[in-house]
Structure 1
Amino acid sequence: MDKKEFYRKLLSLVLPIAFQQLMLTIVSASDALMVGAIGQALLSAVSLASQITFVYNLFLAAMTIGTSIFVAQYWGKGDQKSVEKILAIVLRVSITVSCVFFLAATFFPSLLMSVFTSDNTLIEYGNKYLRVVGVTYLLCGISQIYLCIMKNTNFASKSMIIGSTAAFLNIPLNAIFIYGLFGVPRMEIAGAAVATTISRIIELIWVLVEHSKLNRVKININYIINPDQTLRKDFWRYTLPVLGNELVWGGGFTMYSVIMGHLGTDAVAANSIANIVKNLIASLALGIGNGGSILVGNELGAGKLENAKMYGKRLCQISIISGICSGILLLIISPVVLLIADLSFQATQYLKWMLIMCSYYMVGKYVNGTTISGIFCAGGDSKFGFLCDAITLWGVTVPLGLIAAFVLKWPVLAVYFVINLDEIVKLPAVFKHYKKYIWVRDLTRSE
């Protein structure tokens, strides 16, 4: 495949995935900003309560990455039957995990909130949000896995339309239920959760309608009840390190929120806005990583190993350029963010410098996202990410962050600087591992 064709195929995957991620981030931002307009305490509560959803999404992310590893390769090989067997294996797990999170958020919200803050007001607000939003975990356990299947089987644009439309509907629904428009009772923080739940219901219904069409990968009940044991072993062999990676990374990221959550509401509010902006700018990174993983996986499954190696090189070059440009863009829009954010004077000062620190973070985010979650996983090289994050986060940034915040009592911005070093610290090890080409492997089996 020549460069022109490579970029055409890459864009056909990257743009839908990146746009869908952008819409999801915008919805998250609308939750925080609309509720935050009522009061800074509500903004902080939504931010902390959303950490439960963040942890749940770590499990979903591991399942979708594991799904993509095999679906991309088997689809590249032309084996739809194995794709349906993989789907069944993943659904068994995702539905089980979703039930656990639903029960925890619905019946034990105070316990969950107390992990992130000792402020009783924030805990009370967070309870109202979690009790309603818990049901969305049951819905996402099915819809997100099937949308992942669509991305890997030539329906990335359709997956984007479904996910983005549901996300877009969430924004006006937020306004209606948070502020009580058109005769609807004013629900404030609970309204944000209701809006999210309705949009997820619509998303799942649409997914099931799409699934019923001809020439779509089907959810086979028989495969769910009696999973293919060989594929099941293959799946867990390469997905368990991904799950470990997500939990190690997500646990570290959650610890960052715990650290910031105990430094005052100004620090929490500023960190909330900084994370929203950072995630908006990083949407393209997820698109490049996921889209690149599908492209590389297709080539590996088809046995075109040299093509896959060439694709990996091009993707790395794209990630470096995109990371630099994204950091510059973040600096350019920072004054607008400060103008729009309705924060106290102290929180605004925190946010100003946090955004500057986020700009250099972007380069590491793009490169690591493309390699660790994209190129490496496409060939089943999932253990490296687990080890890399375990050492970087739990051996360096989390301990240093805890010491800086609670032992040395450093200022908020100094602590924030420390906990944003992880993506940069990884870069030398990631580059060295990439050059070993362990990820250039065909994982498929013959019938």
Structure 2
Amino acid sequence: MGKTAKKNMTLFALTWPIFIEILLHMLMGNADTLMLSQYSDDSVAAVGVSNQILSLVIVMFGFIATGTAILIAQNLGAKQIQTAKEIAAVSLGANLSFGLLLSIAVLIFSKPLLRIMDLPEELLDEANIYLVIVGGFSFVQAAIMTIGAIVRSYGFTKDVMYITIGMNILNVIGNYLFIFGPFGIPILGVEGVAISTVVSRIIGLIAAVIILFKRIPDSFPIHLLLKFPKIHMKNLLGIGIPSAGEHLSYNGSQIVITYFIAILGTEALTSKVYAQNIMMFIFLFSVAISQGTQILIGHMIGAKQYEEAYKRCLRSLKLAILMSFSGAVAVSFFSDSLMGVFTANSEIIKVGGSLLLLTIILEPGRSFNLVVINALRAAGDVKFPVYMGILSMWGVSVTLSYLLGIYFGLGLVGIWIAFIADEWLRGLLMLWRWKSRVWVKNSFVTSESA
């Protein structure tokens, strides 16, 4: 029998385990990149493009996971304990089913998807191997994401962190074995990295299921895994689909921009992958703060504590901006050394340094989007971020990326300027929306039992 929620539901108590968890997720991706960079820069570019496609698949899983986190938090805040459990079971069954369908689709269409990206021919085989193996088992990630959203909403953010630590350790060990081939183990390169990723996720899923049954109070309604009550699915999709629309728009725009970068050549693609891997360590502060804030605001909205929710978002935003700006300045100062960890190519290091300098302006803008959009979602105001996101991502980010990066020949620097314009425009629009308090009238809390 578990507890329904943590006693210490403060931003810090929720956020630091989320911070560690996201940090380790990023380290897992960076471990692949760093260890592969000792094997081949081309392999890094191949995996980078495959991961761009896989990130789109992950977003598709996220639309149910996002709805899950918000609905459970709101219902727990409203003391609707049974409804929260039902939502947990329904969302897990729905996302696992959806994950299986998408995994099959990736297996069937892997090469056509990579050709759409205009991938250089010499990278196609390695990118396809990675996409088939990791993408074919992406349903495992769907289940992990959903269970993580459930457990975090109950306040047990440390549990998810421990799972991520274990997955990270297993992944690094697997990478080492298959890339460097100790003890006579065959060197498999990209294929080995993919196998290592999948195995670590499967073991992580087993641990996540054990924790789920331990933390959900009383009995987990297993019978709802294959049943989808209309009321719960309507509310899950009511939050999830618009949220997914914004994420899909972002990832779709990133795929188009990656296509532009592919026009610039393999070296530009590699520079982008290395720079973004470093940038992840800057904005993870904002991501962690935004997710902790979402849990708190979800509970506050369920309890109808609207003024507390309003102030919580603004305090979290100030903290996220401060942390991301400080992190960007520090990273820019050491940019050559950080890029040098990944490559000895002087041109890649030079270009990467320019991108990391521009990140000082980019990351505070991204903080607005991460924190305020998550707050709006937690309050049930999910459509406005989608409409503004689509308008800005495609009208500003994609359009300016082509004009500045390709047409005017500024390359990656021009594309980063486009990113800055997009993040700041969307961020300021989101802040205006939050301050308007339109979200006060929205709530997805349902009756005690469906």
TM bucket (normalised to shorter chain) is over 0.9
Write the mapping of 1:365-384 to structure 2, written as runs, cut at 5 A: 365-372=366-373, 374-384=374-384
- Measure how far apart 1:218 and its partner are: 5.9
- Measure how far apart 1:56 and its partner are: 1.2
Aligned partner of 1:175 in structure 2 is: 176
Aligned-partner Cα distance in 1 for 2:430–2:276: 24
Aligned-partner Cα distance in 2 for 1:110–1:232: 34
Contact 2:264 2:411 in 1 (8 A): no
- Measure how far apart 1:114 and its partner are: 1.1
Aligned partner of 1:400 in structure 2 is: 400
Contact 1:178 1:190 in 2 (8 A): no
Aligned-partner Cα distance in 1 for 2:308–2:205: 36
Aligned partner of 1:335 in structure 2 is: 336
Contact 1:303 1:442 in 2 (8 A): no
Contact 2:103 2:136 in 1 (8 A): yes
Aligned partner of 1:246 in structure 2 is: 247
Letter in 1 for 2:142: G
Aligned partner of 2:90 in structure 1 is: 89
Any stretches of 5+ residues in structure 1 without a counterpart?
1-5
Aligned-partner Cα distance in 1 for 2:341–2:226: 52
CA distance 1:61–1:224, change in 2 (3 Å): same
Contact 1:16 1:160 in 2 (8 A): yes
Aligned partner of 2:274 in structure 1 is: 273
Contact 1:296 1:311 in 2 (8 A): yes
Letter in 2 for 1:415: I
Aligned-partner Cα distance in 1 for 2:432–2:215: 45
Letter in 1 for 2:25: L
Aligned partner of 2:227 in structure 1 is: 226
After superposition, give the CA deviation of every residue in 1:322-372 in whole Å (9 maximum; x if it has no partner): 232222222233232133221422222211101111221110112210001
Is 1:418 the counterpart of 2:418? The answer is yes
Aligned-partner Cα distance in 2 for 1:391–1:7: 40
CA distance 1:219–1:317, change in 2 (3 Å): same
- Measure how far apart 1:293 and its partner are: 0.6
* Equivalent position SS for 2:137: helix
Contact 2:75 2:445 in 1 (8 A): yes
301-310 or 211-220, which deviates more:
211-220
Letter in 2 for 1:423: E
Write the mapping of 1:110-259 to structure 2, written as runs, cut at 5 A: 110-213=111-214, 215-216=216-217, 220-259=221-260
Letter in 2 for 1:121: E
Aligned length: 442
- Measure how far apart 1:378 and its partner are: 0.9
Contact 1:42 1:122 in 2 (8 A): yes
Any stretches of 5+ residues in structure 2 without a counterpart?
1-6
RMSD: 2.2
Contact 2:66 2:239 in 1 (8 A): no
Aligned-partner Cα distance in 1 for 2:416–2:155: 41
Identity of aligned residues (%): 22
Aligned-partner Cα distance in 2 for 1:54–1:218: 34
- Measure how far apart 1:405 and its partner are: 4.2
Letter in 2 for 1:352: G
Letter in 2 for 1:379: A
After superposition, give the CA deviation of every residue in 1:24-81 in whole Å (9 maximum; x if it has no partner): 1111111111112112111110111111221111122322221111111111222222
Aligned-partner Cα distance in 2 for 1:50–1:15: 27
CA distance 1:218–1:425, change in 2 (3 Å): farther
Aligned-partner Cα distance in 2 for 1:349–1:324: 22
CA distance 1:391–1:281, change in 2 (3 Å): same
Give the TM-score of the pair, scaled to structure 1. 0.93
CA distance 1:117–1:397, change in 2 (3 Å): same
Letter in 2 for 1:446: S
CA distance 1:128–1:100, change in 2 (3 Å): same
- Measure how far apart 1:269 and its partner are: 0.7
Contact 2:313 2:371 in 1 (8 A): no
- Measure how far apart 1:94 and its partner are: 1.7
Give the TM-score of the pair, scaled to structure 2. 0.92
